[in-house]
Chain A
Amino acid sequence: MTKTTSQMLKEVIKLGLIAGLISLSLSVIGMVELFSKRELIAGIISLGQVFLFAPPIALGFMAAQKVAKEKKNLPLIFGAITGFFAAIPLIILIILESNFDLRQFLPNVSPALVDILTFSLDPIIGSLVLLVVTTVLGLAAAGMYLLPKHIQKPLANGIIYTLVIGLFSENLSERLRSFFGVGFVKILFDGKALNVVTAIILFILIVVLTVWWTRQGESVKARFTPKSAQEQKRNRRITLGAGVVFLLFLPLLLGTYLSEVTNNVLIYVLMGFGLNIVVGFAGLLDLGYVAFFAFGAYTMAILTSTSDLGVAGISFWLALPICVLVAVTAGVILGVPVLRMRGDYLAIVTLGFGEIIRILALSDLLKPYIGGAQGILQINKPIIFGIDLIKPDQFYYVVLTGVLIAAFVSWRLSESRLGRQWMALREDEDVAEAMGINLVATKLLAFGIGAGFSGLSGAIFASKLTSIFPHSFNLLVSINVLCLIIVGGMGSLPGVVVGALILVGLPELLREFAEYRMLMYGALLIVMMLSKPEGFWPSPVRKRELLAFKEQNDPTVVQEEG
């Protein structure tokens, strides 16, 4: 059934308006304006503009894709139409803002935003320019779609990677300056953004590299693929050794600020490994995971603090195992009441537990012991061989050790009998029980070990900050950790690292993101679940499971949900 041109036109106009509405939303919630302060390529393009124009480009591409299937000759025009209609909602906003004062309702619709939308021109001329720009972008996106694959890919890579490098140019220039001096950086960067010339060179470089890789990649890969088992072993050892050396010298490369960021990422990785056992391996959705983080942190604080609230004043290293033990115990105790619950009920109850713990920590009831809202101060830093590990690049090694231990334990567990029991549990509780798996022990072990990692992480966190407050242990931490294991890929250890880098590392590097962090998490969770539910770095088992579900999409099969 082919559609008539007018039907297609209607669809494409709808696509265009959707693109426009997305751009409009991004503008009115203030993202475009805030992000336009970060320039990617000096004087040419800012992050705000990328956000503003990405929807017309993406949907222009989609329009071309849709049309090309049925009408071979029209994609370009339809792409342009998409772009054209994408501008309409924005223009309405410009007109409204210049005639009424929208700011009393929507604080982010400011003159600065209109300036960005109209390219600092007069509203009417600016609107027309905007219309032309989005139309051209829609057209370009459609053109991009029509290009043959071997041209399309290098071009897209070139644009995307150049913009990404531009995005991080502030940190990049700061690092390069400390290695090569100011003069070198001045050549490449213009303020905090990429120089136009640098950007063009980068773009060409990336395009050339991509072309070379698509032509030669296979043969390069083949040269490094091990031919015998021995060689494979040797290769693995070399990679492992290189990895360890890299991790050991990372702080030297990163400097103080980036080391601090890395420490935060690693703390989340540590928590991620723990939650990965509970959610990823055993399939128990725990939303109160932050409670165990709090247990670890508060135990560390009470044991090592030199303030009035500290009781023991022992060293970090002595307190650490106690913290883990406390967290494990808490995990098992809180695990008992929820043993019979599944899925969404479990999620809500654990969320309730997390909140109860936070409220109790805040309350006057426990104030004499853990300080209430004022928290606990003067927590000891770890000392090793007489060196106080105060600076982030020193503290890095403490966190790294924790992460490596957790990674090793998780890795060994995932292959063990217990790990397999967890996976059986995740797939079908009833069948697992019928197979002779002791549900109580298996579940409690998952809760306990997961909580232990979290407690370790909390203890390190407390020592890193030297002071803790109940507000650090709110629900958002649990959600963050959950997001990162989902984004990385449930049940996958490298996935946790990837997830933490994306969800914790990126927002810390791009400070403007802070305000919209949760918004993007939310959107990311939905998009991930819709398009790539297995995550960026999925574990092979999980991938197979989800694929099986996709294949089951046969309406005649009675679905599990009943």
Chain B
Amino acid sequence: MRRRFQNVNFIDIVLWAMGLGILFLFIWGTIKGLQNPKYGPSDYANFVVLGIAQGSMYALIAIGYTLVYGVLFMINFAHGEFFMVGAMTSTVFIAIPLNETGFFDRQPLISLLLIMIVAMSTSMSIAVLTERIAYKPLRKAPRLVPLITAIGASFFWQYFFRGLFGSQVISFPEFAALKGSLSLFGLEILKSRLLVIIVTIVMLIGLQLFIMRTKTGKAIRAVAEDKDVAALMGIDVDRTITITFATGAAMAGVAAVLYTVVFRQVHYFMGFFPGLKAFTAAVLGGIGSIPGAAIGGLLLGIFESVGPSLFLEGLHIPAAHQLKDVIAFTMLVLVLIFRPQGIVGERLSEKKA
């Protein structure tokens, strides 16, 4: 016991005090919030459903961070942009023209599929292009260098697409088929949110099968384990890395379509915050792990939607919803301090962390 205390130093004490303080605020706020008569159980249930829908999108985007981090140990800062690119391109080139011709309302399912295909392929091609130009030549550079090019790529794509489609908010047409809500388990759930949840589940299962069952998936896992040995086993490492980027971007493309269906607007800056949040989700769940990304995304989404009304208002903070993003970033900082391997992640060796 004494030896354990000998290893504790000043910094640890400060960090633990900080963590305990935040935990105390959280619990105190929750207790107070539960006494708040403004929200009943059904309100909270709605918040949770909203959180799950939002978290599903985070989970899908987080896949991209996790996969790339798994093989390259690099945070692909530009990943949020892959999401934005898919959303904007599919909205401008497919959704709006289809809506004008009326095809959109006649064949909602085909339209949705079409939008999704375009979003996924745009996201994938931009991702592959970015990888080819900005990351591939820097495989052996110091770690800071690809991170900086990633930041550069992020801003480049943001403002490139701003130039392409203009800086205004473009609205996505409304699906008539997705209007209104369904009654499920005694809850009124908006149809669009239900769509998000179902599509996400399907995509995640598909992805898990792809990674675990196919030869390409095996190659990705091998490269993540050890690039040099994978190369010795006859795996084309460069090609596998490109495929990894493309897979992650495809998931971001799906998330982009879901996002546009729910929020019905696209904007050149829309990828930035979801990207950051998804990164938080990936870290929360344990970066490098696909189930981790899903769990982290869901947790983050629920925290974000429940948090402001529950514990922030419990602490009598005015206009608590403004501080939604603060919750996400605080979670990120806390996770990185206290459990950098995330919820389900294995402990990474010093070099990887």
Interface set of A (CB-CB < 8 Å, partner B): 25, 28-31, 105-108, 283, 285, 287, 336-337, 339-345, 347-349, 351-353, 355-356, 359-360, 362-365, 367, 430, 440, 479, 482, 486, 515-519, 521-526, 529-530, 533, 545-546, 549, 552-553, 558-562
Contact = CB atoms under 8 A, between A and B. Distances in A.
A143 B88 CA distance: 43
A25 B160 contact: yes
Given A355-B329, A526-B153, A343 B147 contact: yes
Interface stretch (B120-128, B194-202, B331-339): B331-339
Given A363-B319, A364-B318, A518-B159, A525 B151 contact: yes
Nearest to A279: B144
Interface string B276-299: 100110010000000000000000
B75 A348 contact: yes
Which has the most chain B C-beta neighbours within 10 Å: A25, A107, A558? A107
B149 A525 contact: yes
Given A339-B11, A353-B329, A561-B73, A365 B319 contact: yes
Given A106-B164, A365-B317, A524 B152 contact: yes
Contacts of A105: 92-93, 165
A341 B350 CA distance: 10
Which has the most chain A C-beta neighbours within 10 Å: B144, B147, B165, B276? B144
Interface stretch (B30-38, B135-143, B171-179, B246-254): B135-143
Interface of B: 10-11, 14-15, 18, 72-75, 92-93, 133-134, 137-138, 140-149, 151-160, 162-166, 228, 276, 279-280, 283, 317-319, 322-323, 325-326, 329-330, 332-333, 336-337, 340, 349-353
A349 B340 CA distance: 12
Nearest to A367: B318
Contact of B333 (A106, A285, A339, A349): A349
Contacts of A363: 319, 322-323
B323 A336 contact: no
A353 to B, nearest CB: 7
A355 B325 contact: yes
28 contacts: A29-B160, A107-B165, A108-B163, A108-B166, A336-B11, A336-B15, A339-B11, A343-B143, A343-B147, A344-B75, A345-B75, A345-B353, A348-B332, A349-B333, A351-B276, A352-B276, A359-B326, A362-B322, A363-B319, A440-B11, A519-B160, A522-B157, A525-B151, A526-B152, A530-B149, A533-B141, A553-B140, A560-B143
A25 B137 CA distance: 23
Binding site secondary structure of chain B: helix
A352 B163 contact: no
Contact of B163 (A31, A355, A365, A559): A31
B239 to A, nearest CB: 17
Contacts of B75: 344-345, 347-348
Given A363-B322, A549-B142, A29 B148 contact: no
Contacts of B141: 529, 533, 549
Nearest to A25: B160
A344 B69 CA distance: 11
Contact of A479 (B15, B155, B317, B352): B155
Given A533-B145, A561-B143, 13 more contacts: A336-B11, A344-B143, A352-B329, A363-B319, A364-B319, A516-B159, A519-B159, A522-B155, A525-B152, A526-B152, A530-B134, A560-B351, A561-B351
Contacts of A479: 151, 155
Contacts of B318: 364-365, 367
Contacts of B323: 359-360, 363, 365
Contacts of A340: 11, 337
Contact of B164 (A108, A344, A347, A546): A108
Contacts of B157: 522
Contacts of A518: 155, 158-159
B333 A337 contact: yes
A529 B333 contact: no
Contacts of A526: 133-134, 149, 152-153, 156
Nearest to A554: B140
B256 to A, nearest CB: 17
Contacts of A516: 159, 163
B144 A285 contact: yes
A519 B156 contact: yes
Which 3 A-B pairs give the minimum distances between C-beta atoms?
A29-B163, A525-B152, A522-B156
Contacts of A533: 141, 145
A522 B163 contact: no
B152 A523 contact: yes
A515 B159 CA distance: 8
Given A343-B147, A355-B325, A356-B330, A349 B336 contact: yes
A298 B10 CA distance: 31
A522 B154 contact: yes
Nearest to A343: B143
A336 B16 CA distance: 12
Which has the most chain B C-beta neighbours within 10 Å: A341, A486, A526? A526
A337 B156 contact: no
A336 B19 CA distance: 13
Contacts of A365: 317-319, 322-323
Contacts of A337: 15, 18, 333, 337
Contacts of A356: 325-326, 329-330
A108 to B, nearest CB: 6
Nearest to A526: B152
